[in-house]
């Protein structure tokens, strides 16, 4: 399950051992393509990684805090610290390998 972040609230995602944050926007085509992939991965990594979705238009401070310049951007956090970041649409196998690498 992907949790929606509202009001620039980072409390839940910073409390997670590992969190994947999907920075996106409703008008972004590649973001719409990536959404179902992130949703699938959230099921596969349940209990290992908490997944969050951040609309950059609704949460500009969060986007700025994590230096998000383009969307979609995925960020992996370990206890609130950024350990990996990738930009643009990626197929599921590539993202799964990227997540595993960020957790290594």
The residues annotated as belonging to the active site are 28, 31
Is the CB of residue 74 less than 8 Å from the CB of residue 22? yes
Task: Characterize 4-27 residue by residue with b for buried, 16 or more Cβ atoms within 10 angstroms of its Cβ, and e for exposed.
Answer: ebeeeebeebeebebbbbbbbeee
């Amino acid at each position: 399950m992907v949790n929606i972040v509202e009001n620039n609230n980072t409390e839940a995602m910073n409390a997670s051992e590992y969190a994947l944050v999907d920075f996106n926007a409703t008008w972004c085509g590649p973001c719409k393509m990536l959404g179902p992939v992130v949703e699938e991965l959230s099921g596969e990594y349940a209990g290992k990684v908490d997944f969050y979705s951040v609309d950059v238009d609704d949460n500009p401070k969060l986007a700025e805090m994590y230096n998000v310049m383009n969307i979609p951007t995925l960020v992996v956090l370990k206890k609130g610290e950024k350990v990996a970041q990738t930009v643009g649409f990626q197929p599921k196998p590539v993202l799964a390998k990227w997540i595993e690498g960020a957790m290594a």
